[in-house]
Amino acid sequence: MAEVEGSTAKSEGLASCHTCLKLVPEDTHTCPRCGSAVHQRETDSLQRCVALLITACILYIPANVLPIMYTDQLGKTEASTIIGGVVLLIKLGSIPIAAIIFIASVMVPSGKLIAMFYLVWSVKSHSQLSPQQRTVMYQVTEFIGKWSMVDVFVVAILVALVHLGGLLVIRPGFAALAFAGVVIVTMIAAEIFDSRLIWDQLEDNNDNSAT
């Protein structure tokens, strides 16, 4: 039997291990190579992914609107948001640092949310991007997501180091917790999204064109 272009392991009665990518028969539940659980597709992958993405969007609002840290100096308290911190750094002439924080704390999280929503939508709808391009998009999105924690790390370091006898104290704000939640939830959403669904669509298109 000739091999069908764009065929998947699922159509051949096989399943791919998510950990080591070994192909095993579809009725195998444990990978013989690494011992991981094997399943053809994640159960309700899209629904769970969308639920997590919506949660991340809700958390993203207070993460940007509320103060990410408070600075207590000589009895005076000053609140700083993410955007406010970027603007302050620009005014102080620290444009490279401002650019890094803006990219890591604003562009990357919002870009990841948009990319994940698009990938979920593309599984059920027609997309102009090929499966190869969407797979690369997913891999890049999954990789860069963890680098969004720059602001949280900076606040944590400042809280731990800056405590000058009551003259200067830095305290984390609720936005730091919300922002950490955004990063963690989007990372889980990327893990739950089953990228193999992208290739199932290609096979379905091939089957429809063959009939």
Per-position pLDDT tens, the chain of length 211: 334 455 566 666 677 776 776 777 877 778 887 877 776 666 678 899 999 999 999 999 998 888 887 877 777 777 888 888 788 778 878 788 788 878 888 888 888 999 999 999 988 887 778 888 888 898 888 887 766 666 666 666 666 655 655 566 777 788 888 888 888 899 899 888 888 787 776 655 554 444 5
Whole-number pLDDT of residue 166: 58
- Angle among Cα 122, 58, 185 to the nearest 5 degrees reads 65
- Rounded CA-CA distance 177/151 in Å is 11
All structural domains of the chain: 9-40 (no CATH), 44-194 (1.20.140)
Q: Token digits for 106?
A: 């604003």
pLDDT, residue 3, reads: 42
* 149 contact partners, CB below 8 Å, separation of at least 6: 180, 183
